[in-house]
């Protein structure tokens, strides 16, 4: 689906979908919805002696101030009585709730005629009273408010108000069960670039089915952790899940949903209260409900783990099992996630990848990953977003013409930004070049938003330059600190007055947001991380060109570069600034300044500086062309000495922003002509090969070392293997035939494949001196439950019966996927075959083709194979025992099985 609104964070509702912004103009209804066909016979019990008239009066008052609503439906809820436990009615609201500045709407919804009958009987003063209308008010209103909160996305500025029904524009996202692997801390744009050209056959999971086990999975799923980069669609997925449930479409076995975003929970980090009290603060209606272990099937949704500022200490011994027991908010959440509190409750947590490991793996029953839009979904989004289909076709065509832009379209928020810019530029006689780089696209987006600001009535006292510089300063300082959401104290630390920030959020609603949640408190954020990075780069660029300031000289962190700079005279030239920025970005362990660097360099191009003059007065550098060439030269020198492929790839993106494509075009010629394996390439050129292959539109279906290194020169092949490891780990089929690979090379290969074990389908390591130790290293990948290798070729690898035992043990731990195995020309002997046969007896072992040529096998080994086939006759279809000098009588035990229809064996070569 797409993420079109909110934040720098990992994906909040997209700017075009500003749900949070609506909170400014009218408070949001607090709502939880419970629905199920069977809830009609539910008893509603009031513990006080108030009359029906009193209750109606209370509801009347509430509809004027804030709606309470709960809708109950679900086959499992038939016999669950709903207890209203407070002696005082809903008039006694929390102080926090009463603080809300504007009344919230009251809404009632009757989903069907069935909800009116049979009536619910309310026991008051020992009299049975027909109160079906109470059910409508107390229960259905709750669900209706939830529907009202989540049913719309706001495209354009919230002030203008161009609401779009979520169901009309929603585009299904590509969500899968996540690979195991390691938590990725690299820049999220880099992760998107990796995913964009990695072919995958993973089973897609619909948003509504994240708690539903896939075929073959029989373990119950209580806690789901959904990860994904900023803007990829996690928050909108949450919105869609809740909306489908509130509308009675999906997950009707769930009776209560409590959405509790971490950014709002942060505001309560110093509070001590019970879980019941916490829910009451966010959902005052829960005061009347008795939420305990077995009353309802409850789902808690904690959106934005990466924004959490609570101390989630899962090593703590503080155990809390009672919903009425008081503790700090972080202790409440820890006990809820672990399962001490409400162990039957479902938990859904969303997070950006870097923060996903804050939750211990033993507490998570399923990890899913939102991968954004695949290529068909990108086009679907633009065709839904742009009404003029011929214009939509032109936009799609333009984005496809720029690989860097089309890759970014995997992020729904970037699709929204591109649609906003290109719809205007391609549909009007707009002067200027159509954006072809990321920097151009984001600058045009900024211009578009500033123009919208000019249409507002109250912007007259705020100049564009003043606002952009101050927002840019916040963006840069918080980016350096790693903050993507800001509270009042963060802004004060940056020298920004909170009132001033509120004004900016009102002027540029699609750039900078001030949000109010259920709980009282302001949260500030940029609409998306990339917008923060662009504004930060703009601030740094303008500080240099307009004020002769190199902001990197003012960074207080004591990096080696900063120390060196302090020892020499300050140089505020553009070239010096760029070199400082390049060095800072390269020193970052997780690459958090990578996109910022691309933007900064792109802003210095002369044509771009002219574009910036539409925003504000800017001093165009006299020697900008010389500065650009100096920067290009500096980056190319860095690429020559770069040992990290990831960092060199970002430098190539930087060259692209600077308009230099010389290295890439040179390598393209080699690749297109098929002569790259004959060329003597420099280290810079090999880095360019990696960049070209990893940003190619073509999926990496196969990597063959012989296409890059000719002949029998094992030393050269091994060098090429090491340089191209980033490409190898993304390929589906890897052929490293006869390339001098040893145990040491196996260690490097294993390390590379560990991050994405689910991609690899075929691996050929034949004619390499791996030995048993090399096979042991490779086995660490094969035993990974996410590894789905189907074909493994290990001809003449120095494998003995010992290595065969290790390999068999590994395959038995993950036997579902391997279909073909070739161990020919290894001296495994009968003992090795016996090890292998022990694995083949396992009914879960689904090997179909087995090559054992020239392996020193005798009649004893044949008997072991025949025994294995008798135990597991369903899968093996092909066996090749050629070169083992077996007599016909010695293989009779196998040939008899071939002729027996009970067995699947079709071909036997001896």
- 893 SS3 class: helix
Check whether 560 has a pLDDT greater than 60.
no
Closest to 831 measured CA to CA, from 874, 802, 788, 809: 802
CB 174 within 8 A of CB 228: no
Question: pLDDT at residue 653 above 60?
Answer: yes
Task: Report pLDDT digits (tens) over 80-103.
Answer: 333 433 333 333 333 333 333 333
Do 756 and 887 fall into the same domain? Answer: yes
- 153 with 286, same domain? yes
Dist. CA 827–CA 808, nearest whole Å: 15
Edge to edge, the sheet with strand 175-177 lists 175-177, 366-370, 223-227, 346-351, 298-302, 256-259
Q: Which of 136-145, 248-257, 552-561, 629-638 has the highest mean pLDDT?
A: 629-638
C-alpha to C-alpha distances, 501 to 36, 545, 604, nearest whole angstrom: 45, 25, 28
Between 751 and 70, the more confident residue is 751
Both 749 and 853 in one domain: the answer is: yes
Residue 204 sits in the same domain as residue 346:
yes
Strands (E), 346-434: 346-351, 366-370
pLDDT tens digits for 271-316? Answer: 899 998 898 888 777 666 667 656 678 899 999 888 888 888 888 8
Which residue is it, tokens 């609409």? 527
Any domain includes 34: no
Tokens in use for 605?
A: 């191009």
| Pair 689, 745 in one domain | no
Interatomic CA distance for residues 285 and 870, integer angstroms: 65
Residue pair 107/63 in contact (Cβ under 8 Å)? The answer is no
Whole-angstrom distance, CA of residue 805 vs CA of residue 832: 7
DSSP states along 116-136: GSSPPEEEETTEEEE-HHHHI
Whether the per-residue pLDDT at 801 is higher than 90: the answer is yes
Helix (H, G, I), strand (E, B) or coil at 665: helix
Whether residue 803 is contained in a domain is answered as yes
Measured CA to CA, the distance from residue 334 to residue 268 in angstroms comes to 15
Going by pLDDT thresholds of 50, 70 and 90, the confidence category of residue 216 is confident
Whether residue 662 lies inside any domain: the answer is yes
**Do 756 and 731 meet the contact criterion of CB atoms below 8 Å apart?**
no
- What DSSP assignment string belongs to 8-22? SSS--BBGGG-HHHH
The parent domain of residue 486 ranges over 437-558+571-614
Q: Is residue 47 part of a domain?
A: no
pLDDT at residue 620 tops 70: no
What's the rounded mean pLDDT across residues 519-528? 72
Q: Which two tokens stand for residue 71?
A: 């809708």
pLDDT-based confidence at 798, cuts 50/70/90?
very high
The residue from 338, 355, 372 where one domain ends is 372
Surface-to-core class of residue 716, CB atoms within 10 Å of its CB (0-12 exposed, 13-18 middle, 19+ buried)? middle
Chain CA centroid to CA 90, Å: 40
Report the C-alpha gap between 151 and 239 in whole angstroms: 8
Which of 331, 346, 372 represents a domain boundary (last residue)? 372
Q: How confident is the model at residue 65 (pLDDT cuts 50, 70, 90)?
A: very low
Percent of the chain residues topping a pLDDT of 90: 22
Residue 868 located in a structural domain: yes
Does 824 map to a domain? yes
Rounded Cα gap, residues 793 and 823, in angstroms: 7
Query: Most confidently modeled of 113-122, 481-490, 867-876?
Result: 867-876
Give the whole-angstrom CA distance, residue 534 versus residue 598.
Answer: 9
Residues 666 and 600 in one domain: no
Rounded Cα distance, 73 and 905, in Å: 54
One domain, residues 664 and 706: no
Which of 40, 34, 44 has its CA nearest to residue 118?
A: 40
pTM of the model: 0.68
CA-closest candidate to residue 356, choices 393, 317, 305: 305
Banded model confidence at residue 622, pLDDT cuts 50, 70, 90 = low
The single-letter DSSP state of residue 434 is P
585 and 712 share one domain: no
Pair 604, 676 in one domain: no
CATH number for the domain spanning 887: value is 3.80.10.10
- Is residue 141 located within the same domain as residue 284? yes
Given this model, what pLDDT does residue 744 score? Answer: 83
Residues 638 and 653 in one domain: yes
Residue 190 has pLDDT above 80, yes or no: no
On whether both 757 and 628 belong to a single domain, the answer is no
The Cα–Cα gap between 573 and 628 comes to 11
Which residues, other chains included, contact 392 with Cβ-Cβ below 8 Å and sequence gap of 6+?
A: 382, 383, 385, 386
Mean pLDDT check: name the lowest of 24-33, 221-230, 255-264, 464-473.
24-33
Enter the tokens of residue 364.
Answer: 């998570």
What would the pLDDT profile of 341-384 be if each residue is shown by its tens digit? 999 999 999 988 777 888 888 899 988 888 888 888 899 999 98
3-state secondary structure of 421: helix
The pLDDT assigned to 106 comes to 32
The enclosing domain of 202 has a CATH number of: 3.40.50.300
Strand partners, 35: 73
**Cα-based distances in Å from 284 to 13, 31, 97:** 25, 9, 7
From 675, 698, 721, give the residue that closes a domain. Answer: 698
Is residue 319 classed as helix, strand or coil in its secondary structure? coil
Number of domains observed in the structure of the chain? 4
Between CA 65 and CA 449 the distance in angstroms is 35
Residue 84 lies in a domain: no
Residues, the chain? 910
Q: Is 210 inside any structural domain?
A: yes
For residue 351, list its beta bridge partners.
Answer: 227
């Amino acid at each position: 689906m797409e993420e079109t609104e909110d934040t720098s964070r990992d994906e909040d509702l997209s700017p075009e979908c500003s749900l949070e912004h609506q909170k400014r103009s009218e408070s949001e209804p607090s709502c939880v919805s419970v629905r199920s066909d069977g809830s009609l016979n539910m008893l509603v019990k009031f513990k006080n002696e108030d009359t029906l008239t009193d209750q109606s009066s209370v509801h009347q008052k509430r509809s004027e101030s804030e709606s309470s609503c709960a809708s109950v439906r679900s086959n499992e809820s038939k016999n669950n009585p709903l207890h209203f436990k407070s002696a005082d009615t809903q008039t006694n609201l929390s102080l926090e709730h009463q603080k809300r500045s504007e009344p919230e709407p009251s809404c009632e919804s009757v989903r069907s005629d069935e909800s009116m009958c049979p009536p619910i009987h309310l026991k008051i003063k020992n009299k049975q009273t027909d109160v079906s209308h109470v059910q409508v008010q107390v229960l259905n209103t709750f669900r209706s408010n939830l529907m009202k909160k989540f049913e719309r996305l706001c495209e354009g500025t919230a002030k203008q108000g161009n609401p779009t029904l979520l169901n009309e524009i929603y585009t299904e996202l590509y969500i899968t069960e996540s690979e195991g692997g390691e938590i990725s801390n690299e820049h999220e744009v880099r992760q998107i670039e990796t995913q964009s050209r990695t072919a995958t056959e993973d089973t897609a999971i619909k948003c509504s089915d994240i708690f539903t086990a896939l075929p073959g999975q029989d373990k119950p799923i209580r806690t789901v952790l959904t990860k994904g980069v900023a803007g990829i669609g996690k928050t909108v997925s949450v919105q869609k899940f809740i909306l489908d449930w509130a509308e009675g479409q999906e997950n009707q076995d769930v009776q209560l949903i409590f959405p509790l975003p971490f950014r709002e929970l942060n505001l309560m980090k110093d509070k001590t209260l019970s879980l019941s009290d916490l829910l009451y603060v966010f959902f005052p209606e829960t005061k009347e409900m008795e939420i305990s272990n077995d009353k309802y099937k409850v789902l808690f949704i904690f959106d934005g783990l990466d924004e959490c500022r609570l101390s989630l200490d899962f090593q703590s011994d503080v155990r809390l099992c009672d919903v009425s027991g008081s503790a700090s908010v972080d202790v409440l959440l820890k006990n809820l996630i672990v399962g001490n509190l409400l162990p039957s409750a479902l938990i859904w947590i969303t997070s950006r990848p870097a923060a996903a490991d804050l939750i211990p793996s033993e507490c998570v029953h399923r990890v899913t990953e939102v991968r954004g839009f695949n290529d068909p979904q990108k086009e679907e989004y633009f065709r839904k977003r742009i009404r003029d289909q011929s214009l939509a076709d032109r936009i799609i065509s333009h984005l496809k013409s720029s690989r860097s832009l089309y890759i970014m379209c995997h992020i729904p928020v970037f699709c929204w930004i591109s649609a906003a810019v290109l719809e205007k530029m391609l549909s009007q006689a707009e002067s200027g070049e159509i954006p072809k780089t990321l920097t151009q696209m984001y600058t045009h987006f900024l211009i578009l938003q500033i123009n919208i600001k000019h249409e507002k009535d109250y912007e007259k006292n705020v100049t564009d330059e003043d606002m952009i510089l101050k927002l840019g300063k916040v963006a840069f300082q918080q980016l350096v600190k790693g903050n993507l959401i800001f509270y009042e104290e963060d802004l004060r630390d940056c020298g920004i007055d909170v009132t001033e920030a509120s004004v900016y959020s009102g002027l540029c609603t699609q750039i900078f947001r001030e949000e109010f949640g259920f709980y009282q408190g302001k949260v500030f954020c940029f609409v998306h991380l990339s917008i923060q990075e662009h504004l930060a780069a703009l601030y740094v660029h303008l500080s240099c060109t307009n004020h002769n300031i190199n902001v990197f000289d003012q960074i207080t962190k004591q990096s080696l570069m900063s120390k060196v700079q302090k020892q020499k005279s300050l140089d505020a030239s553009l070239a010096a600034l760029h070199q400082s920025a390049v060095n800072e970005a390269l020193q970052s362990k997780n690459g958090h300044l990578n996109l910022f660097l691309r933007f900064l360099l792109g802003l210095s191009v002369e044509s771009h500086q002219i574009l910036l003059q539409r925003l504000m007065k800017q001093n165009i550098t006299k020697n900008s062309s010389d500065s650009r060439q100096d920067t290009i030269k500096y980056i190319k020198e860095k690429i020559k000495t770069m040992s990290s492929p990831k960092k060199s790839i970002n430098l190539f993106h930087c060259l692209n922003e600077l308009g230099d494509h010389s290295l890439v075009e040179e390598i393209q010629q080699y690749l297109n002509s098929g002569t790259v394996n004959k060329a003597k390439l420099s280290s810079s050129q090999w880095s360019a090969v990696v960049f070209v292959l990893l940003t190619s539109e073509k999926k990496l279906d196969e990597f063959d070392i012989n296409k890059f290194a000719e002949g029998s020169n094992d030393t050269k092949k091994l060098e090429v293997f090491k340089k191209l490891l980033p490409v190898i780990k993304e390929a589906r089929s890897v052929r490293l035939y006869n390339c001098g690979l040893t145990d040491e090379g196996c260690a490097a290969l294993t390390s590379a494949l560990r991050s994405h074990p689910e991609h690899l389908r075929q691996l050929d390591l034949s004619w390499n001196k791996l030995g048993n130790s090399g096979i042991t290293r490779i086995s660490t990948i094969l035993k990974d439950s996410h590894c789905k290798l189907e074909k493994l070729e290990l001809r003449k690898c120095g494998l003995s019966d010992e290595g065969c035992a290790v390999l068999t043990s590994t395959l038995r731990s993950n036997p579902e996927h391997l279909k073909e195995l070739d161990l020919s020309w290894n001296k495994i002997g009968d003992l090795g075959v016996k090890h292998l046969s022990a694995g083949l007896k396992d009914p879960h072992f689904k090997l179909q083709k087995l090559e054992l040529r020239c392996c020193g096998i005798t009649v004893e080994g044949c008997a072991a194979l025949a025994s294995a086939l008798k135990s597991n006759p369903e899968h093996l279809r092909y066996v090749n025992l050629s070169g083992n000098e077996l007599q016909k009588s010695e293989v009779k035990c196998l040939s008899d099985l071939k002729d027996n229809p009970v067995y699947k064996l079709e071909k036997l070569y001896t």
